[in-house]
Chain A
Amino acid sequence: MAKEQKTSGAAAGAAAFKTFTPMAARPAPKDLTGVTAWLRTNLFSSVPSALLTFLGLWIAWSVLSALVSWGWVNAVFQASSRRECLDKVGLSGACWPGVVVWIPNLIYGLYPKDQVWRINWGALLLIVWLLPLWLPRVQSKIIIGFSTVLLFPLLASYLFLGGPKGWIWTALIAVGLTGFLWSLLTAASESLGGGPFLRLAARLMGAKTAEEEAQRGRLALLGLFAIAVLLVTQWNLDFVPTRVWGGLFLTLVISGFAITFSLPAGIILALGRRSKMPVISLLCTTFIELFRSVPLITILFMFNTMLPLFLPAGVEVNQLLRAIVAVCLFASAYMAEIVRGGLQAIPRGQYEAASAMGLGYWQSTSLIIMPQALKIMIPNIVGIFIGLLKDTTLVSIVGLFDLLSMARAIARDPGWIGLFLEPMFFITVVYFIFCFAMSQYSMSLEKRLGAGERR
């Protein structure tokens, strides 16, 4: 077409001297927007692509239709035993009543039913404690976040376990309660524009200078602790042995412990591995490499069989604690490598500038290096948390009743004997929701934190 035009243009040029004939305009491209254009570019751009589209649609259709007909259309929603379900639809439909009846057990394990409120209150406490992190006017978010992670276990330990408490445990619970009260009061006073709670309290007590403020602030904190001790001594809960803990509750307790422990332990191990002192570096490297190169299940087995041997005769360590120790050590080795990766990403200039400003090792690490490194590491840290949540299913192999074991226990319930696929499907959805939500949140966080670096 273009060639034709050129020759005709040349002919015209020969005939009429220097008459400019523009090339005919090419037709406008067919619709580039709209439904048909979208279909063409995304589904039917070529013959193979069209075939792939049909193949993909067929796969999606067969999976979804099988799932819907099993889980919804043919499913039984009202029955009192598995026999009844089987009589109605056989194996072609799901038998949901078995799962519905067991939902309390799947969530709380064998925790006494009249005590289950304690777990609910524990969850509520955690949510209330973390709530200030989403309030825009609160400034002390970092310290509130740390107080939650480090002090919530102290308070929760008594809430979940209960029973008689010695004075050391009383003090620890009171520390936890102090942290909670402090977080609430700080969030309230900062939201209302009064600044940090301790400063406000100090000012109310008549502090004038900064020194007096710090002094009376500490006094206020001590007062808060005294109130907490008073409350804790009045607080009596029945003892619930850990052997009846189970279900989703146990899964979250173990992974929560591991998360709490692994972050500080991982930071210390990573700093140790990068340290210039050969002995410390060697010890940390050995620990990290050892725990990273063996499977979690061998560590769980090891602690299960060997922890009673390691401790002095007569010291009993219950099975839950053994599993928690194993998972914590495992997680901190992985966390250490993530932290090390983050530390390596910080340019040398930052270290040099920090030491040029006269900051010592701990100052430059905690004020300059760590805040930057932690920001880089957030996606990977969340990745570890997701991994931990999934890995806690392994404790079912060493005899703890986590979510997976409870789901499999339904098959042994006389009324619902052999019910397997339905509970498995249910807990798959539970795990998926937890893990997927975490990964999506981490991605959005990454986007928000990295906003400064993007062009």
Chain B
Amino acid sequence: MALTDSGSMIAQPRQGQGSLLNNAAFRAGVYQAITLAVVIGGFWYLVNNTITNMSQRGMAAGFDFLTASAGFSVSFTLIPYKESDSYWRVFQVGMANTLLVAAVSAALATAMGLIIGLARLSNNWVIRNLSRWYVEILRNTPLLLQIIAWYFGVFTLLPNPRASMNWSDTFFLNNRGLYFPAPVPESGFGIFLAILAISIAGAAGVILWGRRRRLLTGRIAPVALPALAAMVIVPALAFLALGSPLAFDRPALQGFNFRGGINVPPAFCALVIALSVYTSCFIAETIRAGIQSVGRGQTEAAKALGVSSSRTMQSIILPQALRVIIPPSISQYLNLTKNSSLAIAIGFPDLVSVWMNTALNQSGRAIPIVAMTMAFYCVVSLSVSLLLNIYNRRVLLKER
């Protein structure tokens, strides 16, 4: 039956064979036009409804409120802020707090993730299994639960300031947070910074010279120690010669509370610890997968050539593993930045909490505020993925 069908098709072409309906380009155009019409229609419907609803409820739109005074206080700010500042300033405060949490947590998560990831590859059975269960338990429980547990279960249960935990009268931990000395630059600190910059540049120069020499002559120059010396000893001597131009303002108990120093509120501590512990599991798994992705033959070949094991790690395994490790790690940092929005559950004033919650409730400008918050996260994540794409293109295996 099928045969006669196709046979008849060849004998006498169906009507419409040459019509527009069988033209792929035309059909693609029609599909796209229909999709576009549906999407635009849907948008128009939503916008129309929104305008009607807003006029009914007497809500105003637009960004004119940004210059108005916010009139509420924020419990923790990285950049200076007072109640009479504008809404625009509140937005900046929120962004700065979010970025601060993300940066501190990312650094801690990387350090912990590196240790745990290497521990998972250890030859030692105890260490291997300990790190395995650390990862399994922490990444299989919700982050929000962990944040709440750290905050209400640990940091708010700490002793009051008078009975605070004390490390050599420098660091204090109590239910108002962590107190540590604030650095106060004195005269001559600028000169010290300049010397520091010059010595770092010098160390970088030594390393680059060593690399070039290696590429030209094949000899490995011992640059690690001279570079380290240039980076540490020179600035240390300069620091002493200038008469220690950096003082520390130590926190001290006065009455019922601490004065001086820098105070990090408990919500910040809980958020940073929960975020970095949670993210460290994912980073550890990434690092483990990256190192395991380098074939066993590579290590064996290096050993056969008599390359030392630290050199093998440094020059053979890591460069290949980093190619696999870096892209997922960066997406973990992005996830961390997004997850920092859970700060709202413990009252830390990050962007979502201070802007999308407090400022929105105060001003009632739902649409601009939601749009600005989403725009911030979009800009952060799109710029990071742009950088990641550039990196990926650079490290792509050059195959011929």
Residues of A in contact with B (beta carbons under 8 Å apart): 41-43, 45, 49, 52-53, 56-57, 59-60, 276-280, 283, 289-290, 292-298, 301-302, 305-306, 308-313, 386, 390-391, 393-394, 396-397, 404, 408, 420-421, 424, 427-428, 431-432, 435-436, 439
A312 near B49 with CB under 8 A, answer yes
B124 in complex: contacting residue of A43, A421, A439, CB < 8 Å: A43
A283 near B35 with CB under 8 A, answer yes
A436 near B378 with CB under 8 A, answer no
> A428: which B residues are within 8 A, CB to CB?
141, 145, 149
> A390: which B residues are within 8 A, CB to CB?
140-143
Residues of B in contact with A (beta carbons under 8 Å apart): 28, 31-32, 35-36, 39, 46, 49-50, 52-54, 56, 122-127, 130, 136-137, 140-145, 148-149, 152-153, 334, 338-339, 341-342, 344-345, 352, 356-357, 360, 366-367, 370, 373-374, 377-378, 380-382
CA of A45 to CA of B142, assembled, Å: 38
CA of A56 to CA of B141, assembled, Å: 23
A294 near B142 with CB under 8 A, answer no
A43 in complex: contacting residue of B28, B126, B377, CB < 8 Å: B126
A294 near B338 with CB under 8 A, answer yes
B360 near A305 with CB under 8 A, answer yes
> B339: which A residues are within 8 A, CB to CB?
295
B130 in complex: contacting residue of A56, A397, A435, A436, CB < 8 Å: A56
Q: How far is the CB of A17 from chain B (nearest CB, A)?
A: 39
Chain B residue at minimal CB-CB distance from A293: B381
Q: How far is the CB of A89 from chain B (nearest CB, A)?
A: 17
12 A-B pairs besides A295-B341, A390-B140 with CB distance below 8 A are A279-B32, A279-B35, A283-B39, A296-B338, A297-B341, A298-B356, A298-B370, A301-B370, A302-B374, A309-B53, A390-B141, A404-B145
A289 in complex: contacting residue of B124, B341, B382, CB < 8 Å: B382
Q: How far is the CB of B336 from chain A (nearest CB, A)?
A: 11
A298 in complex: contacting residue of B149, B373, B380, CB < 8 Å: B373
Known: A52-B126, A305-B366, A404-B145. A386 touches B50 (CB 8 A): no
A294 near B141 with CB under 8 A, answer no
B144 near A394 with CB under 8 A, answer yes
> B380: which A residues are within 8 A, CB to CB?
293
> A421: which B residues are within 8 A, CB to CB?
153
Chain A residue at minimal CB-CB distance from B56: A313
A408 near B148 with CB under 8 A, answer yes
Residue contacts A-B, CB under 8 angstroms, 29 given: A43-B126, A45-B123, A52-B124, A52-B126, A52-B127, A53-B126, A56-B124, A278-B32, A280-B35, A293-B380, A294-B377, A294-B378, A295-B339, A296-B338, A297-B342, A297-B352, A298-B341, A306-B370, A309-B54, A309-B366, A390-B143, A393-B142, A393-B144, A396-B345, A397-B144, A421-B153, A428-B141, A428-B145, A435-B140
B32 near A404 with CB under 8 A, answer no
Q: How far is the CB of A357 from chain B (nearest CB, A)?
A: 15
> B54: which A residues are within 8 A, CB to CB?
309
Chain B residue at minimal CB-CB distance from A289: B382
A386 near B356 with CB under 8 A, answer no
Chain A residue at minimal CB-CB distance from B50: A309
> B149: which A residues are within 8 A, CB to CB?
424, 428
Known: A45-B123, A310-B50, A397-B344. A427 touches B145 (CB 8 A): yes
> B141: which A residues are within 8 A, CB to CB?
390, 428, 431-432, 435
B366 near A306 with CB under 8 A, answer yes
Chain A residue at minimal CB-CB distance from B356: A301
Q: How far is the CB of A404 from chain B (nearest CB, A)?
A: 6
Q: How far is the CB of A299 from chain B (nearest CB, A)?
A: 9
The 5 closest A-B pairs by CB, nearest first: A293-B381, A56-B126, A435-B140, A42-B125, A295-B338
Chain A residue at minimal CB-CB distance from B125: A42
B28 in complex: contacting residue of A52, A277, A293, CB < 8 Å: A277
Known: A294-B338, A394-B144, A431-B145. A277 touches B32 (CB 8 A): yes
Known: A279-B36, A283-B39. A301 touches B130 (CB 8 A): no
Q: How far is the CB of B91 from chain A (nearest CB, A)?
A: 14
CA of A231 to CA of B319, assembled, Å: 66
A301 near B357 with CB under 8 A, answer yes
Q: How far is the CB of A247 from chain B (nearest CB, A)?
A: 15
CA of A294 to CA of B367, assembled, Å: 16
Q: How far is the CB of B73 from chain A (nearest CB, A)?
A: 22
CA of A391 to CA of B338, assembled, Å: 12
CA of A59 to CA of B124, assembled, Å: 15
> A420: which B residues are within 8 A, CB to CB?
152-153
Known: A56-B130, A60-B130, A386-B140. A394 touches B342 (CB 8 A): yes
CA of A390 to CA of B144, assembled, Å: 8
Q: How far is the CB of B240 from chain A (nearest CB, A)?
A: 35
CA of A279 to CA of B127, assembled, Å: 53
> A394: which B residues are within 8 A, CB to CB?
144, 342
> A393: which B residues are within 8 A, CB to CB?
142, 144-145
A311 near B125 with CB under 8 A, answer no
User: Which of A42, A295, A435 counts the most chain B CB atoms within 10 A?
Assistant: A295
> B338: which A residues are within 8 A, CB to CB?
293-296
> A59: which B residues are within 8 A, CB to CB?
130
> B28: which A residues are within 8 A, CB to CB?
276-277
A297 near B126 with CB under 8 A, answer no
Chain B residue at minimal CB-CB distance from A38: B125
> B56: which A residues are within 8 A, CB to CB?
313
Q: How far is the CB of B354 from chain A (nearest CB, A)?
A: 13
CA of A428 to CA of B366, assembled, Å: 35
Q: How far is the CB of B256 from chain A (nearest CB, A)?
A: 24
> B334: which A residues are within 8 A, CB to CB?
293
A306 near B367 with CB under 8 A, answer yes
CA of A421 to CA of B145, assembled, Å: 11
